[in-house]
Structure 1
């Protein structure tokens, strides 16, 4: 079922959303000092293109630099990617078949805003804490 969901996602929204992340990653890698932003953007592009069966967890050892980086990311790139996710989710929700994909797209908005300090892992490698937040074993 995940494979079918991923294939449908790829054709409905995944390719175009991933393209936005790749463009942001290329721009970030051209400016040498922002290469960590480019790496994070490419990691998110891989997740956005094939999301089902994987999840995103916080990396507790990310530290202060990821917080500072996330603030800069939101100011320069994150809000645009988040708006793209919101618009794509709205368009997907216009059809009955697209509603689950639209909801999945909206769940990626926080990831588009704060990508640094997160890891993409298989669903089987995490559990949930009492508050429902995914954590690694």
Structure 2
């Protein structure tokens, strides 16, 4: 991770990123406890990791790193449709609203960009993973 990404991530954490990530981790825990939410718990956990450290990471298709699995095929597509209907669109909308609010100031522009990246990942997360920006290694 570059020094600039580290600084931006630390500022992000202090200004609310840590609370948002904890929210994602709690949501993942509830999904696991509910049993029917288990297929989406991994997506919520990955969203939490991405929300924790959005700078220096990017979402990519999981099959690019690991090959085909259950989440990258037709069942993953179906899981994303269900996610989109019940959670994805309003989570992405929340990130878009936050991005618009932050984009008003020059200082908020990098954080607005982070919210736009998070909105895309929250919209359609199954079958994707996080990688460092240079795509050579996985974040988590």
* Shorter-chain TM-score range: 0.7 to 0.9
- Listed as ranges, the gaps of 5+ residues in structure 2 are none
Q: Which runs of 4+ in 1 moved over 4 A?
A: none
- Cα distance per residue 1:18-55 (max 9 Å; x no partner): 24423432332222022121121011101111111211
Question: How has the CA–CA distance of structure 1 residues 46 and 20 changed in structure 2, closer, same or farther, with 3 Å as cutoff?
Answer: same
- Listed as ranges, the gaps of 5+ residues in structure 1 are 127-137
TM-score normalised according to structure 1 size: 0.81
Q: Does 1:11 align with 2:17?
A: no
- The number of residue pairs the alignment matches comes to 126
- Is the strand fraction higher in 1 or 2? 1
d(CA) in 1 for partners of 2:22, 2:100: 19
| Root-mean-square deviation over aligned CA pairs | 1.7
Query: Which stretch shows the higher mean deviation, 92-101 or 113-122?
Result: 92-101
TM-score normalised according to structure 2 size: 0.80
